Amino acid sequence: MKRPNQLFRNLSAKIAAIPMIVTGLFVFVGGTVWTVVYSFTKSGLLPRLKWVGLDQYERLWSTKRWLVSIENLAIYGISMLVLVFVIGFILATLIDQKVRFENAFRTIILYPFALSFVVTGLVWQWILNPEFGIQSIVRDLGWKSFTFDPLYTPEIAIYGVLIAGLWQGSGLVMVLMLAGLRGIDQDIWKAARVDGIPAWKTYLFIVIPMMRPVFITTLVLVVSGIVKLYDLIVAQTGGGPGIATEVPAKYVYDMMFAASNLGQGFAASTMMLVTVALIVIPWAMLEFGGKKNG
Amino acid sequence: MKTIYKLLVVVTLICAVTAAFAEDLEVMHWWTSGGEAAAVAEFAKAFDATGNHWVDAAIVGGEAARAVMVSRITGGDPMGAFQFNHGRQAEELIQAGLLRDITDIAEAQGWKDIVNPPTLLDACTVDGRIYCAPVNIHSWQWLWLSHKAFEDAGLPVPTNWDEFVAAAPALEAAGKLPLAMGQQGWQQSGAFNVMMATLVPQEIYLAVYKDKNPEVAGGEEVAKVFKAAADARAMSAKSTVQNWNDATNLVITAQAGGQIMGDWAQGEFAVAGQVAGTDYSCLPGLGVTEMLDTGGDAFYFPVLKDEAQIAAQGELAALLLKPEVQVAFNLKKGSLPVRGDIDMSTANACMQKGLALLAEGKILPSTGQLITPDTSNQINTLFAEFFADPSMTPEDAQKQFVSIIETAE
C-alpha cells in the first residue's frame, strides 16, 4: 500500500496555520533581524544603511542613563519576581482555608489587575505624594516627623514603582495559585494529615512541587510583564526624579522618537533581546532538553 | 415668522453650498495649556472662515506629540498639517521628501519681504526651497517674578538674576519656594541654556552650540554657568511639580518667587488675569544681558495625494501669516509675531519689551536651530539628573557636558 504523502497529512490544519506561520516569520523573525541589522547603522529619524560598526553599542554602554536603566530593571525584576510569588502564594493559601466570603475577598484582591498600568501608576503617584498621600495622612494623625516619599528620593524611587507593580500583579498570581491549589487532590491532604505532617510542611514539600505547571505559567506571565515595564514608569514617575527610575524600554522609546536616533534605539532593543535570550535559552534547554535523557 | 423661515432656508443653502467645497484638514499640535489652547483657537477660527474645517488634533507634551507626528508621517498616514519647532527637528523628514515644498505659496505671499527676522524663514529653507510657515517667535530668556511673593517676604522685586539669588533665603524664610521648576529635563536644560546665553558673553553660547567647541564647553566661562545652575538647583530643591504651566501657576499664585521659562508662560499670566508690571515682572535675558533667541513654532505640511486636501493645505499656509491672524494668535499666545509690519500696540508691557529687542536686533539663534534632537535629548537627560541629585557637583556635570558636545553634530 502506498503511504500517503507526509506533506498532505492534516492538510486543513496546515492551511489554517499558514497565516500564523507567515506572521511569525515576517513580523517577529523578520522584524528582529531588521532591527539587529539597522543597529549597526547611523539611522536618525529614518532608517538608512550607513554603517558605523559597533559605534551605537559603544555609546550605549558608556551612557549612564542606560546603565541606570539596566540596574533598575534588575532591582525591580528580582524583587518583583520574589515578592509577587511569595505574596500571591500566601494570599492563595489564606483564601484556601475555606474562609467565609471567599468570593468577595478574591474579587477585592484581583481587582487591581483589572486596572491598566497607567491608572495604577497615577493612583500610586498620588498615594505616595508627600503633600496629600500617605505621608500627609500620617502627619495629620500626629506623627509630625513621619517621612514617606519614595518617589521624591532618587535612591529608593524604584521601590515606589515596585509597590505599585506588586499591588497590581499580586492578585493575578493569587488567582493562578488558588486554581493550582484547588487542583490538588483532597486525598493527598487526607494522607498527609494521617501521617501527622503539619499543614505548612504539606504546602512546602508536597503541594508546591505538585503545582509545578502552574508555577511555570505564572513565571512566564510575570517575567514578560517585567521585561516590558514601561507604561507604569511613564505614568508614575516619568523616569524621575532625574533618571532614578529609567528602564530599558523607556530608553528605547525615547531614543527612537524623542531623540530621533533610531540606530541607538535599535542597539538598545537588541541588547534587551540578548538579555532575554541569555535567560530564556538555558532555561528552555533545561526544561525541554532534559526530558529526552530522563 | 415667514421671514425667519426664509432666512433659515437661505442659511441652510449657504451652508450646503460651502460644505461642498469645505475640506476637513487635520492639524496636529501640542498646544494644550490654557493660553496655548486659546491661541490655537484663533487659527482654527480663521481657517474655518475660509469655508474649510480645522480638525483639531492636540497631543499633550511636545515629545509625545513629535513621536506621534513622525510615526504617522513615516508610516504613510500623514495628517494635513502639523506644528513643529523649526530648526533641525524636521531636517530628515525634508531630506526624505515627506514634506511638501511650499515655496510657491511663500513667493505668492511675499514671505521673503515680510518675515522678520529673516533667519526664521532660513530655518524653514532647505536647498533654497521653503518647507514651513513660521507662525511666531518664542524666546526662552525670560525670568518671571511674582510681585506678591516678594511683598510677602518684605523685599523689593529683583531686577536681575543676582538680586534674585540673593533674595532666595528671605523668600524661603517667608515660606515661599524661591524658584519654580518643573521636574522635566527640557525645562531644566532650557534654564541652563538661558543662563549660558545671558550670564556669560554671547560668544560662549555660539562657540558651544554652533561650533561645538569642547574646549570652550569645558572652560572657565561655562563653569560659571554650571555654578549658576547649581544655585538654581538649590533654589528649586522643593519644587515637585512636573509641567511647566504648573510651575508658572506657582508664580501666579505667589507660592514661588520666580520661574525661568520662555515667553509662552506669558499666556498663562494672561489667562489668570494678571497684569504685567503690577502683578508680575518679566526680565528678558534674566535682567543681565537683554538678548532673546528666535526659536518658535512653524507649521509643516506633509506630502498628500488628495487634490482637495492639497488645496486646503495651501489655504492654511497662506492664512497663517496674514496680519490679522498673526495679531490675534500672538496676543493670546504671548509670543512675538513673525512680521515686523503689523500693529502690536495692544500687546502688554512684557511683549513690548520683546518687540523692542527684536527691533534692535538683539537676537540669538535658538538651540533647536543649532543642535540635533539627539544632542538636546542627551543634554536634557544630563540636567534631569543634575537637578534631581544634589550630590552631583557642577564639575562632574560639566565633564559630562563636554563629552556630549564633543560627539555632537
CATH architecture of B142-293+364-407: 3-Layer(aba) Sandwich (3.40)
Indicate whether A118 and A203 sit together in one domain.
Answer: yes
CATH architecture of B25-138+295-361: 3-Layer(aba) Sandwich (3.40)
CA distance A202 to chain B (A): 50
Indicate whether A207 and A234 sit together in one domain.
Answer: yes
Query: Of A152, A257, A264, which is closest to B240 when you measure between CB atoms?
Result: A152
Per-state percent for chain B, helix, strand, coil, to nearest 5: 55, 15, 30
pLDDT digits (tens, 9 = 90+) for A214-224: 998 899 889 88
Nearest chain B residue to A66 by CA distance is B381
User: Is pLDDT of B18 > 60?
Assistant: no
Residue B49 CA from chain centroid, whole number:
26
State percent of chain B over pLDDT 90.
61
Within a domain: A191: yes
Indicate whether A58 and A22 sit together in one domain.
Answer: no
Chain B neighbours among A 34-53 (CB < 8 Å)? 44-46
Candidate from A6-20, B72-86, B207-221 with smallest mean pLDDT: A6-20
Tell me the chain B residues in contact with residue A147 when contact means C-beta distances shorter than 8 Å. Answer: none
Cell of B283: 526680565
CB contact under 8 A, A260 and B89: yes
Query: Of B67, B91, B384, which is closest to A243 when you measure between CB atoms?
Result: B384
User: Is pLDDT of B105 > 70?
Assistant: yes
Indicate whether A31 and A77 sit together in one domain.
Answer: no
| More confident call, A8 vs B312 | B312
CA distance A226 to chain B (A): 23
Nearest chain B residue to A259 by CA distance is B374
Angle at which helix B34-49 crosses helix B323-333, to 10 degrees, equals 160
Interface ipTM > 0.85: no
**B339 CB-near residues (< 8 Å, 6+ apart):** B114, B115, B116, B321, B323, B326
User: Is pLDDT of A183 > 50?
Assistant: yes
Q: From CA A283, how far away is CA B35, in angstroms rounded? A: 56
Phi-psi bin for B302: left (phi > 0), alpha (psi -120 to 50), beta?
beta
Tell me the chain B residues in contact with residue A254 when contact means C-beta distances shorter than 8 Å. Answer: 63, 377
**B42 CB-near residues (< 8 Å, 6+ apart):** B325, B328, B329, B332
Within a domain: A182: yes
pLDDT digits (tens, 9 = 90+) for A257-292: 888 889 999 999 999 999 888 888 888 888 777 655
Nearest CA to B162 out of B263, B265, B285, B292 is that of B285
Range A283-291, long-range pairs (CB < 8 A, 24+ positions):
A287/A216
CB contact under 8 A, B92 and A59: no
DSSP result, B142-173: EEEEEHHHHHHTT-PPPSSHHHHHHHHHHHHH
What average pLDDT is seen over chain B? 89
Q: With an 8 Å Cβ cutoff, is A152 touching chain B?
A: yes
Indicate whether A164 and A276 sit together in one domain.
Answer: yes
User: Is pLDDT of A11 > 50?
Assistant: yes
Indicate whether A83 and A218 sit together in one domain.
Answer: yes
Q: Report whether B75 contacts B348 (CB < 8 A).
A: no
Within a domain: A46: no
Within a domain: A45: no
Indicate whether A160 and A289 sit together in one domain.
Answer: yes
Within a domain: A89: yes
Domain count, chain A: 2
Nearest CA to B236 out of B356, B143, B129 is that of B143
Within a domain: A162: yes
Tell me the chain B residues in contact with residue A46 when contact means C-beta distances shorter than 8 Å. Answer: 74, 92-93, 96
Where does residue B224 rank: exposed (0-12), middle (13-18), buried (19+ CB within 10 A)? Answer: middle
State percent of chain A over pLDDT 90.
54
CB contact under 8 A, B373 and A240: no
Query: Of B66, B183, B386, which is closest to A240 when you measure between CB atoms?
Result: B183
Query: Of A238, A253, A254, which is closest to B242 when you measure between CB atoms?
Result: A238
Tell me the chain A residues in contact with residue B243 when contact means C-beta distances shorter than 8 Å. Answer: none
Q: With an 8 Å Cβ cutoff, is A20 touching chain B?
A: no
Over residues B34-52, mean pLDDT: 91
CA distance A62 to chain B (A): 11
Query: Of B240, B374, B387, which is closest to A260 when you measure between CB atoms?
Result: B374
Nearest chain B residue to A241 by CA distance is B388
Indicate whether A15 and A96 sit together in one domain.
Answer: no
Chain B neighbours among A 252-271 (CB < 8 Å)? 253-255, 257-261, 264
Indicate whether A21 and A117 sit together in one domain.
Answer: no
**B9 CB-near residues (< 8 Å, 6+ apart):** none
Nearest chain B residue to A257 by CA distance is B67
Indicate whether A13 and A63 sit together in one domain.
Answer: no
pLDDT digits (tens, 9 = 90+) for A83-128: 999 999 999 999 988 888 888 998 999 999 999 999 999 999 999 9
CB neighbourhood size of B72 (10 A): 17
CB neighbourhood size of B368 (10 A): 21
CB contact under 8 A, B389 and A242: yes
Within a domain: A48: no
Cell of B396: 562632574
Indicate whether A80 and A4 sit together in one domain.
Answer: no
Tell me the chain B residues in contact with residue A260 when contact means C-beta distances shorter than 8 Å. Answer: 70, 89, 92, 372-374
List, by residue range, all CATH 3.40.190.10 domains of chain B.
Answer: 25-138+295-361, 142-293+364-407
Domain containing A141: what range? 54-293
Residue B22 banded pLDDT, cuts 50, 70, 90: confident
pLDDT digits (tens, 9 = 90+) for B273-321: 999 989 999 999 999 999 999 888 999 999 999 999 999 999 999 999 9
Residue B2 banded pLDDT, cuts 50, 70, 90: low
Indicate whether A26 and A152 sit together in one domain.
Answer: no
